[in-house]
Amino acid sequence: MSALAETSPSAQRPRALAVIPARLASTRLPRKMLLNETGSCLFVHTAQNAERSGAFERVIVATDCDEVQAAAEEAGLCAVPTSPDCPSGTDRVHEALVTAGGDFDVVVGVQGDEPELSPEDLERLVDSFNDEEVSVATLAAPIEDEASLQASSVVKVVLDSSSDALYFSRSAIPNRAHARPDAEERGGLRHVGVYAWRPAALAHFRGLETTEAERAENLEQLRWLESGGRMRVLLIDRAPHGVDT
């Protein structure tokens, strides 16, 4: 296994680990993690993008596939094996955190098919944990068109006056985003599925039972909200384009 990819975080920044879940199976785009039309695999671009942010002390790839692990190591990345039975990317992030070890203040799960996340937004996500009240954080961006507002594949989020999530839905829902009043005029906010956790919060989440809203919407983050947790939502200018086709 190659040396861990490391950066030098700011002295004021929480110690953060980035985990890139890179599961090979994909229904919409088979074997997409190993797509390499650019000369590097898709997940490698995502990991290198996280490194460029300077927000992480370590960046690791979490995978259930020997091919992905070999490709990661060939690219000079650290890869840790995870169970093929992990029910979600969040479970894979937790398993990778336990396997990798280390004393981190924050662990961030960045899906392997999100190579265009802004490094500056990843920095802001980690830095939000300087607020001791933040135990989980994520990102959201304005919805720019009616088609996205109506699409069930685009997850919408409603915020409270503290920029914490009130609810996530696949349906079109009104938004009361006080932190950005124009969001309502522009069609509300779409969730960008990158999650940052304090390790204790992540461990607690994994011990929770699935909830009614989670099952109805097929959105695991609702388990955290329905169980009384708070999730800080940072607003970004635009949603990155994940690779699905």
Shortest CA distance to 45 belongs to which of 32, 56, 27, 58? 32
R_g of the chain computed on alpha carbons: 17
Calculate the alpha carbon distances from 121 to 49, 117, 211, 223 in Å: 11, 7, 30, 25
For position 1, what pLDDT does the model report?
35
Global pTM reads: 0.86
For position 5, what pLDDT does the model report?
40
Q: Are 130 and 228 in contact (CB under 8 A)?
A: no
Query: In residues, how long is the chain?
Result: 245
Phi, psi of 49, rounded to the nearest 5 degrees: -65, -40
If phi over 0 gives left and psi between -120 and 50 gives alpha, with beta otherwise, what is residue 48? alpha
How does pLDDT run across 146-189, given as a tens digit for each residue? 999 999 999 999 999 999 999 999 999 876 544 444 444 446 89
The Cβ of residue 42 has, within 10 Å, a number of other Cβ atoms equal to 22
State which residues of the chain have pLDDT below 50: 1-11, 177-186
For position 244, what pLDDT does the model report?
55
* Sign of the torsion angle spanned by Cα atoms 34, 4, 82, 232: negative
Q: Are 188 and 156 in contact (CB under 8 A)?
A: yes
In which element (H, E) is residue 49 found?
helix 42-52
For position 89, what pLDDT does the model report?
82
Q: Which amino acid is at 144?
A: E
For position 141, what pLDDT does the model report?
95
